[in-house]
Structure 1
């Protein structure tokens, strides 16, 4: 089975899209992540939901998780404030990272290898720099566990 046969339609956002709207999309649809496209519409990154969560947690708490216990629950109320007015690009890593993408003719093993190597919950399926669809880890497992 090729990646193009495994791929599903999936929402995408642009690098200049509203970060709060992207976070809401991730939350409302319970997505593991979302493909981010550049100004020309080509996939350029994957924004895992975990990266959005990481953006919301102050750096000092990430450095010392024991401090999380002393923060009030009202901090959660400030999530909207932290994302408001920001573009999706603000949520992406500052260092360039490899795009989790596979070719349309890649096999299930090649897709699995990409996900495993990059520790990414989804990969973009591309053909000639055009997004064909997305394969999530759960979709990959579903196909891998289905008897042939």
Structure 2
């Protein structure tokens, strides 16, 4: 029994030493894990701050670009509106009858219109060959134009 007791005491001593070594190794591992966790938390905080700065810069950039775009579109609309106003002013000064008369004075080809051709018997050797003209004299009927020549729905032109 004495030998067995010594064996058991020896095993207990070895187990105590192994437990103490395992405990020290465990404490070292916990310290390494704590240091790694601390370092990870610091780097995570820095990364979050960098991401936040990037996002703030992105939003500021988009804000500036959209602001400039809105100002550009507004200025274009103002220019377009001014151009349209000039068109409206010109249209208000438009007098159709006067414009037609001016066109006739400046671009008319003349008051003579050709007569319809007549039959000429060239075998008989008689007749005039050539175009004859007559003076144009037409009276314009405004109601006829309004009622007959314009398509429906355009009677206020």
Scaled to the shorter chain, the TM-score interval is: under 0.3
TM-score by length of 2: 0.18
Q: Greater strand share, 1 or 2?
A: 1
TM-score by length of 1: 0.19
Over alpha carbons, which structure has the higher Rg?
2
Q: Greater helix share, 1 or 2?
A: 2
- Greater RCO structure (CA 8 Å; 6+ sep): 1
